[in-house]
Every structure is written in C-alpha cells, then in structure tokens.
Amino acid sequence: MSQHFDAVVIGTGQGGSPLAVRLAESGRRTAVIERHLFGGTCVNVGCTPTKTYVACARAAHVARTAARYGVMIDGNIAIDMARVKARKDEVIGSSRSSVEKWLRGTKNLTVFKGHGRFTGPHALRIEAADGSTQDIDADLVFINTGTRAAVPPVNGLESVPYLTNASILELTEVPEHLVIVGASYIALEFGQMFRRFGSRVTLLVRGERILTREDADVARAMQDVLSREGVEFRFDTDLQRVEPLAAGVRIVTGTGTVDASHLLFATGRTPNTDDLGLEQAGIAVNRHGMIDVDGQLRTSVPGIYAIGDVNGRGAFTHTSWNDYEIVASNLIDGEARSVDTRIMAYAVFVDPPFARVGMSEEEVRKDGREALIATMPMARVGRARERGETDGFMKALVDVRTKRFLGAAIYGIEGDEAIHTFIDIMNADAPYTTLQRAMHIHPTVSELIPTLLEGLKPLR
C-alpha cells in the first residue's frame, strides 16, 4: 500500500532540508528521504569538516610563524591528528544531529531513512537498511541527492589504498608524504592544509598550471604562496598506473615515479543520479550525469524538480541554499524567481582565501565587450600590512557602457568576506560609482575597494 504525500524531498542537503520544512509548514503533507547522513555533503564531508581542518592548520601555521610578530614559542609545533579529527567529529556531529532533530520535530513532515528509487514519475520505493521497503507517491518531487568524489580509472588502482575528500577526513595520523592528483579547489585546500599539519605534499597536475578556470595571474599568485610553504607541484604529469608499496603507493607517470605514503584523488565530482531509477520517472541525465532544469529548477517531467549540486547549476552550499529559496518563493510565496538571473560567486578557502563574483578577466576578454579594469596589490591594504599578510591582489572589471560591474576577484586576507561588497552592488544592479563613493570603515580590507576603483582604466 502506497502512502500519498503532497510533496517528497529526496536528500537532506543544504537545499533539501529547509525546503522540506517550508513545504510542511505551508500545509503540505511532506516526506523527506535520507539514505545515509543527515545534512548532506556540506555538513558531513564538505564545508563543515574541511573548514574545521583549515582552522586547525592555520593555528599550527600561526604558531610556527609567531616569532615574526615577536611571540616566542619554545619547542616544536606538533600535530595530534587524532585530536584534530575528534574536534572535527564533534563539530559535524552537532550539525548533523541538529538537522535530524529539526526535520523529525517538524509537524506535517515524515522522515524516511533509506534509499529512495523512482518506480514511476511520482512514485518511489524506499528501501531501509534492514531490507524492508515502503512505497510512497507525491504530487511534487524534489531531487536533492548531491554529488560524490569522482575517481578516474587508473591501472592498478584496485590493488592500492587511496583517499577521497571524504575518507581523508578519517585519518588519525599525519601522512608522511601525501600525493594529490588534481589542481583545483579541493586539491589546493587539502594540499596547504596537510602541509601545515606537517606532511610532505606533492600535487600532480595534468596541465601546465593550477586553477585552469581562473585567470592566470590568480593561479600564479596562489602557486607562489603554496610553494613558499613547501607544497610541491609536478606539471604536465600523466598518471599511468599505481603500484603497492610496503608503506604506501608508487605512482608511475609519463616522466617518472613518485612514492607516497598516501594518495588523494581530488579530480572532480560525479552526481548521485545513477541509482535513483530516473528512467522509471522519465527523467534523462546529460552527458555529465546531471539533471537538466529550467530557470525555476523544474525537470522535463511536470511536478519534479532538481535542486543542489545534482542539477549542474552550481556546485556550492550557497547555490544549493539559493535553489531552495527560489523554489520556495515560487511555490509557496507566489513569486517568479529564476536561477537564470543568479550572479555566480564563490571562494577557495586556501590561506589567504580567493573569492570571485561574476566574470573573470579572461571571460570578459573573450566576450569582447568594452570594459574597464583595475588591480591593486594587497600590500597597499593597511589591514594586510598590520597582519603581516600581504600576499595577493584585488581586481575589478566594469562595463564601459552600463557602468555596471562585470566581475571582481580578491586573492588576499579576508577576501572571502570583502567580496560581498561587490556581490551586493551587482545584485542591486547599481553602477560601480555607488561603491566607489561609499565611505568604508578604517582599517579594513573593504575600505580599499573604492581606492581600487579609482584606478579603473581601459582593458586592452
């Protein structure tokens, strides 16, 4: 016998959980299905645990460099990885239990623990861990199943231990030599993090530089900082096979071998769409395995939506949350919001952080429009000098005709916070002069943004 609901949400990530609650509170009889851990990627193996580790790694770095500030610390700085992990587990455990308690305590919301698969366009079968099943159907279905680490096929990989962004968080000892395959956001964050924990770290990069989606000047600046801290880079490296060693793994490339105690793959994400029975619902996936949606996050099947990483419209916690806001506003509040008007913004939480909103310089050049550009080294920022952290720079791009920002990037101290001055102005659709003429507080990073804009000049 199938239970009927007005709405069902598959997955309890950053978009799914609040959406399930809002739907229930709006008077709809709602169900939410969670296969594994409440809270999704962000809470369990993404933002929350990794940023907890970033904080631990920064504490170690500050302690090691304290003498630069006249602070003398006797003895070596050592990392107790088991305690670092225990702190992480405490943080995510609290967040996870809060999400579950919130969902289970919401009136009009039924929580199912198990794996949900479509048996029809609006019908699902939920299989619990004990093998029992429950059939449900709903007028509205929201898919929020997220993504998982993508590991490329490598000869010999079946015979060696390797790590992903999830399993590396379970280590209780600092790796002697961590080799990371990849050179994008996750690879760089883990690379700096474990170097600061005390590991020797080597990044194997397929191409000629890191961060291929960002401007070359950003990539160079970030590589310089990480190299100075001791992170090693091997470029144009073709991974051919891996072999087991008594105390680790041997990585064979086209240019030689690397012996490592631990091997981490940070080579992208793959959507959790392969075991949902989507074909039973008539939902097709694109060549990346993502579910295509329109601006209101509707799939090709009426009444079925896809939110979060699984729809390919953003791969961040904040885009997942924004997906929830758009769906809830449209369905519950009677608005007409669209993801198509969203201005993309994100950060890479290396130290110093890198943050970007809108178009990069390379994208503006390819677009061919007439634009202005301004750059400023962080060494000109009082806050950076006072902290002794002057690496990086700011960059802004403006459309000559409309006087609107096309994009901005900050690689430097507190750049992940200061970028919001650009985000807010861009979302307000205000001219750049609104920000240029604003009075900011001294001494902050944001106060130098109006000064940055005084240097706007034609992009050649």
Residue 1: pLDDT above 90? Answer: no
Q: How far apart are the first and last CA of the chain?
A: 68
Reported as a single tens digit per residue, the pLDDT across 100-142 is 999 999 999 999 999 999 999 999 999 999 999 999 999 999 9
Give the pair of three-digit tokens for residue 15.
């978009």
Domain spans in the chain, listed from the N-terminal domain onward: 3-148+270-341, 157-267, 345-458
pTM of the predicted protein model: 0.96
d(C-alpha 417, C-alpha 328), whole Å = 27
Is residue 445 within 8 Å of 413, Cβ to Cβ? yes
Annotated catalytic residues are 442
Q: Report which of 317, 300, 440 is spatially closest to residue 42, judged by C-alpha positions.
A: 317
CATH topology of domain 3-148+270-341: FAD/NAD(P)-binding domain (3.50.50)
Of the candidate CATH numbers 3.40.640.10, 3.30.390.30, 3.40.50.720, 3.90.550.10, the domain formed by 345-458 belongs to: 3.30.390.30
Length of the chain: 460
d(C-alpha 153, C-alpha 265), whole Å = 11
Reported as a single tens digit per residue, the pLDDT across 131-182 is 999 999 999 999 999 999 999 999 999 999 999 999 999 999 999 999 999 9
Is residue 138 within 8 Å of 5, Cβ to Cβ? yes
Read off the pLDDT band of 220 (50, 70, 90).
very high
CATH 3.40.50.2000 fits 157-267, yes or no: no
Q: Report which of 194, 196, 188 is spatially closest to residue 64, judged by C-alpha positions.
A: 196
Q: Report which of 153, 38, 59, 57 is spatially closest to residue 104, judged by C-alpha positions.
A: 38
d(C-alpha 31, C-alpha 138), whole Å = 9
Q: Who's near 149: CB < 8 A, 6+ residues apart?
A: 164, 165, 166, 265, 266, 267, 268, 269, 270
Query: Do 3-148+270-341 and 157-267 agree at the fold level?
Result: yes
Give the pair of three-digit tokens for residue 431.
């001219």
Residue 455: pLDDT above 90? Answer: yes
